[in-house]
Chain A
Amino acid sequence: MRSGFEALADATLLVLVLLAASSALAGFAASPGHRMAIQSYAEDTRLALFRSTLDGLWYEADGARVDVLNGTNVETFLRLEVHLLATGNRGFDFSAANARVADLTNRLVRPAWAIVIVAGTTHDADLVRIPDRSIPSEHAAAFWVYPPLDEDGVRTRLGIALWFSPPR
């Protein structure tokens, strides 16, 4: 009778050892998944977006329309926008131009990806978000800091936040 219990105990131990070994093997085989170079994609997207040129951009300054030179790239326009908004003057309205930039941005990113352009100064919180939406904690970001547009100005910080956002 006693040897029967010993045999049972041995068998149980053997099964436990084999289960542990199998789990270790499963861990070895488990794929960490292909880590897309999201950071690299974010940087490429930032460059592609900011280098893109637009015609017919304009904004309002104290109710007056100001046309921006055709062929101005997104980067230059955003630098100008931040420069003007950083003065604290509330008479500027960039909504029409920002909508053009948002449209360009949404076309550029691949399906199921979401993007927000973030612009501001190195001192302040973000002055511009295109589109104006929150950014999840899990995202890739690509930023660049630019010198002031004039001697008294502050440095501008432009960039994008990008994240995978499949439709639900």
Chain B
Amino acid sequence: MRSVRGVTAMEDVALLSVAIVGLSLFVASILGAQLAHEARERGERLQAEAETFLEAVLEDRRWTVGRGLLLAEALNRTTTEDVRPLALGRPFRLAVWDVVAGTGWTFAKEGGGDFRTAATSANVVGSRTNPARVTAMVWEF
């Protein structure tokens, strides 16, 4: 003999189970989405800071004679402490590579955690004007 109440209870249990599983997945997806969104925003912020740092280097009149025209002689005199304020308080690495002479300048106070890189083309001006790659990195902490 089938109990009507028993059948109804079984149906309720089934519905409740589906609801619990569904809600659990939903909450997990909310948390996952939030974490992914925050990670993306943090990365984008760091990338923007790397690009700002790079742009500041390319325009700093202590070692340039115009945007992207870096003076070899001035770079020889430049120290890591000179570059540090441009990195907005982040740990950083700045590398300028003269691709013809095969020489470069590196200024670094590296940190930890996540990091982002911005790079572009420029010139190193000495006895000639050579093409150069400039790479700026910033770390999270």
Which A residues are closer than 8 A to B by beta carbons? 3-4, 7-8, 10-11, 14-15, 18, 21-22, 25-26, 28-31, 34, 37, 40-41, 44-45, 47-49, 51-53, 55, 71, 73, 104, 107-110
Contacts and interface: CB of A to CB of B under 8 A. Distances in A.
B43 to A, nearest CB: 7
Contacts of A31: 36, 40
B23 interface: yes
B1 interface: no
B29 to A, nearest CB: 4
Contacts of A15: 18, 22
- Chain A interface main SS type: helix
A82 to B, nearest CB: 21
B66 to A, nearest CB: 10
Contacts of B25: 18, 22
Interface string B96-108: 0001100000000
Given A11-B19, A104-B100, A4 B133 contact: no
Nearest to A47: B68
Contacts of B11: 3-4, 7
Nearest to A106: B99
Contact of B131 (A10, A11, A34, A108): A108
B18 A11 contact: yes
A25 B19 contact: no
Contact of A7 (B14, B32, B35): B14
Interface in B95-135: 99-100, 119-123, 128-133
Nearest to A11: B18
Contacts of A110: 119, 133
B80 interface: no
Contacts of A40: 120
